[in-house]
Amino acid sequence: MNHSSIYSIKITLLLAALGFLGTLPSDNDARAEKKIPISKRLRTELSVDLILPRTQGNPLAGQKWAGIFRDLGVYIRVRQRQANDAVGVEQLIYGTIRRVKVTGQIDRGGNIVLPDKTFRLNETEKLKEWIKELQLYGAQGTPKGQPLWGMKKAEFKKLYAELAKRVGHDTSGLSLTESIRLLDLPAEYPLKFTAATRTHLSTLQEQQKLSPVKHDLRKFAKGTALAMILRGYSLSFSPRRLPDESIELNIEPYHKTDDSWPIGWDPAPLGLKRLSLAKKMYQSTVIEIHDLPISKLIPKVHSETELDLYIDPLAITSAGLNLDKLIVNFPRKRTSWSLCLRTVLAQVKLIQQLRVDENNRPFIWVTLFDSKVKKH
C-alpha cells in the first residue's frame, strides 16, 4: 500500500468517526433534495389566485396569465377581490404535504404585483424560476442571499439558543474529531462536510497539518466554539435550510466572502455596552511594554483585563507571522489596555475586536487589519 493510500484511509476514518460520510450537500439543490429520505420529504402543492383590478385595465391579462400558469402545471384562479384577501405567499404543512398558496394582484397594466416582486407578461422565464423555487423550498423560497441564512426569525432564534449552550469540556490538545465530538452539538442540526471540505482535510492530512486544537473553549457558547475550532483548520460553518425545511450546519473551506457563522458577534447591535462587558479593558492604568513577543503579550493582557484573547490562526498563516518573533513596544504612560493593544498590534498589522459569544461572554479577537466581520 503506497503512502497516499494510507493518508486517504486515515482521513476517511477521521470523517467516518464523526459521521461525515453520509449525505453531502450538493451545489445542485434538486439533486440534494433527492438524497433526502422519502420519509422526510415534503410534497408541495402549489396554487395561485390572481385578483383582477377594481378598475378597467388590460381585459386580456387575466386570460393570458391563466394560460401561462396552466402551461407550468400550476392550479390557477383569476377572480374578483374578496373581503379577506391578502396579497402574498402563505403555506400550511399537513404531514408530508406542503400547501403553498400565492395570492397576487393584477394591476391596470396587466402585471402581477406581490409585496416583494412584480411579474410582467413578457417575464415568463423569471416567473418559471420563481415557481420552481416555491415548489422546492416552499413559501420561504431559496435561502441563498436571504438574511439569517434564509431562516425565519423564530427558526434562527431556536438555532441560536441551541448554539448558546456552553461547552462543558476542555478542547485544547484534542484532534478536530475529538473536539467537535465533545461540543455535543444538537442532533437536530447535523453537521455536513462538503466534498470540498473532505478534499481540504485530506490535503492537510497529507501535509501533516492536522494539528491539535490550541484553545480551551470551556464555558464558551457552542456556536462560537465550533467556529473557532474550524478556523484553526481553515474551515467555517453556516446554517443551511434544506428543501424539506430542516436545517443542517454546512462545513466548508473558509473564504472571507462567504456568509459563515461569525467568531463572536459585535456587541453594539445587540445593545451591549463595551464598558460593562470589559471594564478593565477600558480603564485608565499605567502600562509599559518593552521588547515583548506577541506570544507573551497574550497572557499579560488576559491577566490585566480578565479577558480571553485569541489570535486568528488564518491571519498568522496567511501573513507568515511568528508570534514568538513579533516583538512589540509601548512607552510607559497612563492609558487603557484597549488603546495600548490597538497601538502595539498596529505595529504588526493586526487589529483587535471586542466580541461576545452567543451567551454575551466577551473576548478579544485579533485578526488582520483588512478582515471584515459579518453581521446578521
33 and 162 in a single domain? The answer is: yes
Residue numbers of the chain with a pLDDT score lower than 50: 1-39, 371-376
Establish if 259 belongs to a structural domain: no
Establish if 128 belongs to a structural domain: yes
The C-alpha cell 392550479 sits at: 75
Burial classification of residue 191, based on how many CB atoms lie within 10 Å of its CB (0-12 exposed, 13-18 middle, 19 or more buried): middle
The pLDDT score that the predictor gives to residue 301 is 93
Establish if 200 belongs to a structural domain: yes
CA pair distance 373, 258, nearest whole angstrom: 11
223 and 92 in a single domain? The answer is: no
134 and 272 in a single domain? The answer is: no
Residue after which a domain boundary falls, among 200, 230, 253: 253
Which residue segment(s) compose the domain that 83 sits in? 42-140
Residue after which a domain boundary falls, among 140, 170, 198: 140
Q: Which helix (H) or strand (E) holds 128?
A: helix 124-137
The pLDDT score that the predictor gives to residue 72 is 94
Angle at 53 between CA 51 and CA 59, to 5 degrees: 100
The pLDDT score that the predictor gives to residue 321 is 80
Establish if 70 belongs to a structural domain: yes
291 and 346 in a single domain? The answer is: yes
Establish if 123 belongs to a structural domain: yes
The pLDDT score that the predictor gives to residue 373 is 44
Establish if 293 belongs to a structural domain: yes
Q: Closest Cα to residue 365, out of 316, 293, 304?
A: 316
Q: Domain containing 321 — which CATH number? A: 3.55.50.30
The pLDDT score that the predictor gives to residue 300 is 93
The pLDDT score that the predictor gives to residue 260 is 93
CB 314 within 8 A of CB 236: no
Report H helices in 216-267. 222-231
Residue type, 141: G
- As for how many domains the chain has, the answer is 3
34 and 51 in a single domain? The answer is: no
